Amino acid sequence: MDIIKVSANSRTSAVAGAIAGVIREHKHAEVQAIGAGAVNQAVKALVLATGYLKNDSIDIVCVPEFVDVEIDTKVRTAIKMVIDPIDKIS
Amino acid sequence: MDIIKVSANSRTSAVAGAIAGVIREHKHAEVQAIGAGAVNQAVKALVLATGYLKNDSIDIVCVPEFVDVEIDTKVRTAIKMVIDPIDKIS
């Protein structure tokens, strides 16, 4: 399963659709963002995806964590948002 | 219980300490942020708070939502992150 990578220029509705699709298929999704603009888009997309999935009676929750990623030989700290249906983690 | 309001200039460790304290006392916390810089600080603080609380064997999850807040007679859309221990929501 691929990580959904979000940038500051990502469209929130597109990211939200990706999150909802991955959750429906895999019951687990991971979203990665680097920088304030990207993290903001990721969180907004997560709000939208939560609404989409609520229509399918799927309640999701998120646990953010730091991850180090290498970009052009430089190590940067990304935020990874781990998303699961409530009934899976409980 | 007060909402923890985060700005782009908030120190993540201070916000994380506030989140952890409110969760320990109330088993529920709400963090509000307006704008990309503030949302980024809020998410980083949540990562830190997750680590603090894990030391107390408390696993927290978050559900972000949009809320309209009025600031200087203008309505702005904020992100509210609702934080609960896993064992409470399950």
Check: CB of residue B10 under 8 Å from CB of residue B45. Answer: yes
Name the pTM for this structure. 0.95
**Cα within 13 Å of Cα(B48), Cβ side:** 16
Cβ <8 Å between A63 and B63: no
pLDDT at A69: 95
Tens of pLDDT, residue by residue over B21-74, are: 999 999 999 999 999 999 999 999 999 999 999 999 999 999 999 999 999 999
B32 touches chain A (CB under 8 A): no
Closest CA to A29 of A58, A68, A56, A71: A58
| Residues counted in chain B | 90
Average of per-residue pLDDT across B67-82: 95
pLDDT at A75: 95
Give Cα A8 distance to the centre of its chain: 13
Tens of pLDDT, residue by residue over A61-90, are: 999 999 999 999 999 999 999 999 998 776
Q: Mean pLDDT across chain A, nearest whole number?
A: 95
Neighbour tally for B12: CB within 10 Å:
18
Residues 6+ apart with CB under 8 A from B14: none
Cβ <8 Å between B39 and A35: no
Residues 6+ apart with CB under 8 A from A80: A3, A30, A31, A32, A64, A65, A66, A67
Nearest to B40 among A36, A46, A66 (CB): A36
Indicate whether B87 pLDDT > 70.
Answer: yes
Query: What order do you get walking across the sheet with B4-6 strand by strand?
Result: A4-6, A29-33, A74-85, A60-71, B60-71, B74-85, B29-33, B4-6
Which value does ipTM take for this structure? 0.94
List, in order of start, the domains of chain A with CATH numbers: 4-89 (3.30.110.20)
Higher model confidence: residue B42 or residue A1? B42
